[in-house]
């Protein structure tokens, strides 16, 4: 998050589905003055809700969302 990249703030997540076939979570956060939401899938793929970020924004944000989901969902606290 050095080098001028903008932080994700107010990150929230909620489990939507957890069964043998699918596991997915809804997430939301603020970034650069925008409120973004989406669905995170167990395989690490992300479906963005409206407004869908540009491809460049996705490349910036998806690794951050992935790290936050790993921290909140998969790590023991």
What tens-digit pLDDT sequence spans the chain (77 residues)?
444 468 899 999 999 998 878 899 999 999 999 999 999 999 999 999 988 999 999 999 999 999 999 998 877 65
DSSP of the chain, one letter per residue? Answer: --TTPPPEEEEEEEEEEESSS-EEEEEEEEETTEEEEEEEETTS-EEE-SSPPPHHHHHHHHHHHHHHHIIIIIS--
The residue to which tokens 């997430």 are assigned: 27
The ranges assigned to domains in the chain are 9-74
What predicted TM-score, i.e. pTM, was given to this entire model? 0.84
């Amino acid at each position: 998050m050095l080098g001028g990249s903008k932080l994700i703030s107010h990150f929230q997540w909620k489990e939507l589905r957890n069964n043998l076939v699918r596991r997915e979570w809804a997430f939301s956060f603020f970034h650069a003055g925008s409120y973004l939401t989406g669905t995170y899938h167990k395989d690490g793929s992300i479906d963005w809700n409206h407004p869908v970020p540009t491809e460049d924004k996705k490349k910036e944000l998806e690794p951050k969302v992935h790290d936050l989901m790993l921290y909140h969902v998969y790590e023991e606290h």
